[in-house]
Chain A
Amino acid sequence: MSAEATKPARGDELLRVEDLKVHFPLTRGVVFQREIGIVKAVDGVSFTLQRGETLGLVGESGCGKSTTSLAVLRMHPATAGRIVFEGEDITRQTRGLFRRRMQMVYQDPYGSLDPRMKVADIVGEPLVIHKATPGRAEYRERVAGLLATVGLLPAMADRYPHEFSGGQRQRIGIARALALEPSLVICDEPVSALDVSIQAQVINVLMELQERLALSYLFVAHDLAVVRHISHRIAVMYLGRIVEIAARDDLFREPLHPYTQALLSAVPVADPEVEAARPRTVLRGEVPSVLRPPPGCRFHPRCPQAMAVCRTEAPPLARFGSRQVACHLHGPGVIPIRPAAAAHS
């Protein structure tokens, strides 16, 4: 490929998100809509993503992980903050090169492929829209190449989506995302609609492609085992904010934020003996509504270690060694409490 010579090195910063806010007005009435509240779906999120890196974005429903990824794609306007992609501030842009350079793989491989289009047209559509291919012959060749890239046979190009299994459809979705040679692929729950025996096929394809094409992934998912498998770094979100960002192994070996600790302990390990020996932290209650987030630290009503300050002051995301945590237990000047000392039930 011609871009080979100018291709930036792995490890360079690809994406920087600074204090991103995505707020939605909540209105009542049809004609005279009046604002009755604001949903702060994403409320001050900052992170970076390097070239060739996978950042996992995890959290429970309503935490803002999908809204964050859609804001990065500029499919939701950002209320405040900055999104810098490949060195360019795209926060207020609607079109430009970045539209080619970042692509998305969707959750539902059934809903995201037009059933009336042949696979060749689905995979090639981005090339047509962005006028990225000169001739018919080269177009066919590109599509065949893309299908081969994701492990499908070029002969499958003339079939329709219904002739494929869920795992194969998801590969078609990946091939489409790769058509314009993006540097960033945003994956929103790419395997959660698939049967368990199929998930590994898609995960392996994604990892091989990253290896080969130096792709960066923003990988949004709720399944922590899948996120752990594919990510280099992981950001944990709760009610519109990031509570902890750390390298994969650090996060799983020693989660610092009480929410991260509870989240990890809630997920069972597929081994009865390991399970029987694991300490458990079971949280009380459920995630509060984003409409009325609790004051102070948003996690404090469910936090087993909440202190007085947590009820009034929101902890900032502070650097703590090689990682970042938003928790008063780990604030500057506070002696860190080892998670082992935390209350386990």
Chain B
Amino acid sequence: MTETLLSVQGLTTRFRTERGTVTAVDDVSFDVAPGETLAVVGESGSGKSVTALSVLRLIPNPPGQITGGRILFEGQDLLKLSDAQMQAIRGDRIAMIFQEPMSSLNPSLTIGLQIAEPIHQHRGTPWGKAMELARGLLEKVAIPDAARRLHTYPHHYSGGMRQRAMIAMALACQPRLIIADEPTTALDVTVQAQILDLLKDLTRETGASLILITHDLGVVARYADRVVVMYGGRVVEQASARTIYRNPGHPYTRGLLASVPRLDAAAGERLVPIEGSPPDLAALPAGCAFAPRCRQATAACTATRPALRRIGTDHLNACLLDER
């Protein structure tokens, strides 16, 4: 990796809750190279979505707060920017695609206006010209009859078309980074394949980087170049997609791969579940967050928190078993 587009360093985000302060993202670091697709994988409560929202500085304060770290985007620390400066980057240089398109689209505005808005806002393009560009974008995301659809409202769109419209909106200002948080979880499988293929093609075409947040290991295998595995708010492993599947280092990653049924597995193969359940962030253990569920955990694992250390080229792992 010669250059980085985004470098997240030691990011920590906390939330104040009834049960005390919860560290949802705990000292998370990763880089995204230009044109790369990075998958952030984890279960509920792993901190993957909060990481994404932190990068865009969309953490509601209170109760949430980014308490530490740096987010270097194109060499600039996003955490040092004023709200107005951040506003200028959001939707322009960095765009976000959310899981539920219906709740992230404004039901009372036409799709065309919503796609044209960032172009008008960020580029100062007159509305007429911006609407013209919006039509082109709708065609690009393969919405049939784009000229007419431009003037219709989100409820006229099917789930897949809404997500296409969201992608068109995200692409409006030719961002360098797109963050997609479970973009297809709400969609049917055949439509999921269409949307992810579209997203992949468009990022390839524009050279934009993509952070794909997901829990689906199949989606990761098909679309990601590199993978960050999160557990209990921390990064437990980071490597190329190939390495994660061929040579997983962390017991959690290995457990996840063994517990998910595969479409191409030999018949009758038994699944090996990970016992227990994902951790309660308000009551994390002192040592490794995965230790209570780990078959290989030792006394040291419950006492000492493992650091993320390099175990190969572009392969980081946070496990005490590596340190022996």
Give the B-binding residues of A (Cβ under 8 A). Answer: 60-61, 165-168, 195-201, 203-204, 222, 224-226, 228-229, 248-249, 252, 262-275, 280, 282-284, 286-287
Contact = CB atoms under 8 A, between A and B. Distances in A.
Given A252-B263, A269-B218, A196 B256 contact: yes
A69 B186 CA distance: 22
A197 B255 contact: yes
B256 A60 contact: no
B221 A195 contact: no
Contact of A166 (B159, B189, B275, B277): B277
Nearest to B246: A273
Interface string B257-276: 10111111101001111111
B43 A204 contact: no
Contact of B221 (A203, A252, A271): A271
A59 to B, nearest CB: 9
Interface residues of B, number: 49
A198 B212 CA distance: 22
A226 B263 CA distance: 8
A286 B273 contact: no
A200 B271 contact: yes
Contacts of A229: 261, 265, 271
B241 interface: yes
Nearest to B280: A165
Contact of B264 (A197, A200, A271, A283): A271
Given A200-B259, A270-B260, 20 more contacts: A60-B188, A60-B189, A61-B188, A196-B43, A197-B255, A197-B259, A198-B277, A200-B260, A203-B271, A222-B188, A226-B261, A229-B261, A266-B192, A267-B263, A269-B264, A270-B221, A273-B245, A283-B193, A286-B190, A287-B188
A195 B278 contact: yes
B59 interface: no
Nearest to B189: A266
B247 interface: no
Contact of B262 (A61, A248, A270, A286): A270
State the majority secondary structure of interface residues on A. Answer: helix
Contacts of A275: 218, 221-222
Q: Counting chain B CB atoms within 10 Å of each CB, which of A248, A266, A280 scores highest?
A: A266
A283 B273 contact: no
A222 B190 CA distance: 11
Given A196-B43, A196-B256, A200-B271, A270 B217 contact: yes
Contact of A272 (B221, B270, B273): B221
Interface in B289-313: 293
Contacts of A270: 217-218, 220-221, 245, 257, 260, 262
Nearest to A288: B158
Nearest to B191: A286
Given A197-B274, A270-B218, A224 B188 contact: no
B160 interface: yes
Contacts of A200: 259-261, 271-274
25 contacts: A166-B277, A167-B277, A168-B277, A195-B277, A196-B259, A197-B43, A197-B274, A197-B277, A197-B278, A198-B273, A200-B259, A200-B273, A204-B270, A222-B188, A224-B189, A225-B260, A266-B192, A266-B193, A267-B193, A267-B218, A268-B222, A272-B224, A273-B242, A275-B222, A287-B190
A168 B276 CA distance: 9
Contacts of B222: 268-269, 272, 275
A265 B264 CA distance: 11
Contacts of B267: 248-249
B44 interface: yes
A226 B265 CA distance: 11
B42 to A, nearest CB: 9
A317 to B, nearest CB: 21
A196 B185 CA distance: 13
A264 B263 CA distance: 8
A153 to B, nearest CB: 14
Contacts of A60: 188-191
B263 A165 contact: no
